[in-house]
Amino acid sequence: MTATSAAADLDAETRSILERAAAASFPPLPAVHHLLSVGVCVRCIFRMFGAFSHACSCTSLTVSILHSFLEEHDDSVKSGSCSCLSTDETCCSVCFGILLPTCHQDDGVTPFDDTSCIDIITSMVSQTVQREGYQIDEFSLEISLPAVVAANERAIRLYMKQKYGNENWFKDEIFSQQTMPVKEALRLLIVPSLEKQLGVKHGNNSFRIRLTYTHHDASLKLHSLLPNDRSRKRKTESRGGTDTRRNPTYDDKQILSETDSFIHKTLEGIQDQEFCSLFQLPPEKVVKPCNLVISCLRSPIYIGGRYLKLSRNVSQSCWIIDDERMGEASVEEIIGENVRAICRGDGCKFHAAGREDIDVRMLGSGRPFLIEVLNVRSIPSANEVQQIAEKINSSEKKYVRVRNLKLVDSEIWSMMREGEAEKQKQYAALIWTSRPLTDDDLQKISVVKDMEIVQNTPIRVLHRRSPLERKRIIHWMEIEKVEGSSNYYLLHLCTQAGTYIKEFVHGDLGRTNPSIGAIVGCRAEILQLDVTDVKMDLLQ
């Protein structure tokens, strides 16, 4: 199809839309002409009339074409001077130019001609995606609009109600129930061109393109008209003009930091009569368009597996006290940095099924963990995930190893949290006793089955944990003498998750009861501790 024939098809589509609207007298052409004259753009006119909201997706439907149509069909336009086209140098008084070929970016106002505006905007989006290096197979489009758009749309609706409310063709509900939102109209305009630019389809996807429109001046004015602002001003004035606000440096940015949802809620709480007294009807014409910021964001991805910690000088997470690092490294950093390098993410968060102290090794099948990678530029393939595992496992320092590393769904995180309280953990502890244990002592330990103990928050963690009393279960224990020594023993035990093993051995000055020391009737100390198994079905 040639450019000429494509343009002819668009003109025919535009003509068909206008002819059908005129034939239905909905809205009547004089009303269309009047809306144009007060600064409402052609797309807002049609989206506010539900019967013709589909016209918003017609890229060739412009003010000049609509004006030409009005000159042909509307006697009120033919008979006298027409002010419609005086809006050419202004933005729409409802959408602030969002649906027209103009936008305002940080480097200034960017005017477009009618036929190229959508392609140029979507080209800017495409350049942003490419500049950030995202690899995508689908996208979703998010749009954020200033609350003043909703306020001005309501002002136009009430203005039309005042002017045409008694006429048969006018029905107030068409502006509230059948009106197409600005966001939806913008999607209809942008998505086809954006799909073409990016070469992928639009849908519900974890990769989101966000168009954020703001209008600083109009938003400030809206705030000044809201009831809460008026009340604050009255309080200030009633006290002799002295600024009595708690923060005298309250500035424009603080005003605009209020959420759009709060502003919308405030607007919804204002009755029509009060609204008409607060706001200008129709709203004033807009000279300056909205500012547009284009941003991209991908939902977090999760890479999970099990880790083994082979060093007694490596913490699970980065541990810094008074600007001094504790330990040589951390599991979080070793795994996270390797994952982030492949995924090219903005950052990552480490989640594990429990934790061990810095001087405790994690052995056996390992501890389940997840790395939540934020805003990744590329989702790793199975081969790339395997490369991550190989790089970690081949490290010369041999601090950490990983098993069963793979890309997983976010549901695993919830399952891991839910299973934490139910899981069992096995340990191997090297202990010392103040006297050699007898066969009777060893038997007392070995016969333990599902013994309940009570633990008050250990003294060593009271500075960061609430003082609580916790009941925990010791499921079973086995003990063997270390060959060549009469006071050293290797204790194997299986406990409920959350049991403080060190305190269970030495008693923590009676804060854990019973303890190994209490069971055998002598002093007991723990010298080394290893976690040998975390019994969870996840990430096996």
Q: Can you tell me the distance from the alpha carbon of 358 to that of 87, in angstroms, rounded to the nearest whole number?
A: 70
Give the relative orientation of helices 227-238 and 216-225 as an angle to the nearest 10 degrees. 70
Range 339-343 contact pairs with CB under 8 angstroms and sequence separation of 24 or more: 339/303, 339/371, 339/373, 339/388, 340/373, 342/380, 342/384, 342/385, 342/387, 342/388, 343/301, 343/303, 343/373, 343/376, 343/377, 343/378, 343/379, 343/380
Give the count of alpha carbons within 13 A of 201, CB side only. 2
Largest Cα span, the chain:
116
List the structure tokens of 131. Answer: 């500049």
Is there a contact between 368 and 534 (Cβ–Cβ < 8 Å)? yes
Q: Is the dihedral of CA 159, 163, 167, 169 positive or negative?
A: negative
- Residue in 364, 377, 386 with CA at minimum distance from that of residue 135: 377
* Helix, coil or strand: residue 411: helix
3-state secondary structure of 456: strand
Owner of token pair 């996270």: 336
Pairing state between β 512-513 and 449-456 = antiparallel
Q: Three-class SS string for 339-355? A: HHHHHCCCEEEEEECCC
Question: For tokens 């979703």, what's the residue?
Answer: 140
Active site residues: 357
Helix, strand, or coil here: 109?
Answer: strand
Give me the phi and psi of 479, to 5 degrees please: -140, 140
Q: Measure the CA–CA gap between 463 and 289, rounded to whole angstroms.
A: 55
Cis before residue 27, ω within 30 degrees of 0? yes
DSSP string, 194-243: HHHHHTSEESS-SEEEEEEEE-HHHHHHHHHHSHHHHHHHHHHHHTTT--
Question: Distance between CA 79 and CA 85 in Å, rounded?
Answer: 16
Which two tokens mark 32? Answer: 């269309």
Termini Cα distance of the chain: 57
